[in-house]
Amino acid sequence: MTVPPLTLSPSAARRVAQIAAKQGKPAILRLSVEGGGCSGFQYKFGLAEAAEGEDLVVETDGVRLVVDPVSHDFIAGCVVDYVESLGGAAFKVENPNAAASCGCGSSFAV
């Protein structure tokens, strides 16, 4: 069985590169899934120093997205995007595995 890949959009890659450059860190975005949020699970984003042992690593325009194996089970096939709107700017996960999500877009249920 082939595991659906993750995708880091070009706009998300650009934003990660900008944030990493400002903070003097490598352009590596770590995405993980944790219990909590209004729908059962929530996404957590942060800059990482490096990929760890069994992380899935996806690269777009020289920027890496890293995900641990447990989190990957919940977000396989996702697209991580960066969107700017009148309400603000944020990283957004388009998750085909989510059965429901909340209005804030940062938590989901499977």
| Domain residue ranges in the chain | 7-109
Q: How many helices (H) and strands (E) does the chain have?
A: 2, 9
β-bridge pairing 56-60 and 41-47: unpaired
What pLDDT sits at residue 3? Answer: 54
pLDDT in tens, 66-92: 999 999 988 889 999 999 988 888 898
Rounded Cα gap, residues 39 and 27, in angstroms:
30
| Residue 42 C-alpha from the chain's centroid | 11
What pLDDT sits at residue 1? Answer: 41
pLDDT in tens, 21-59: 999 999 999 999 988 766 678 889 999 999 999 999 999
109 pLDDT tier (thresholds 50, 70, 90): low
| Residue 89 C-alpha from the chain's centroid | 15
Question: Which alpha helices (DSSP H) does the chain contain, by range?
Answer: 10-23, 69-75
Q: What CATH superfamily is the domain 7-109?
A: HesB-like domain (2.60.300.12)
105 pLDDT tier (thresholds 50, 70, 90): low
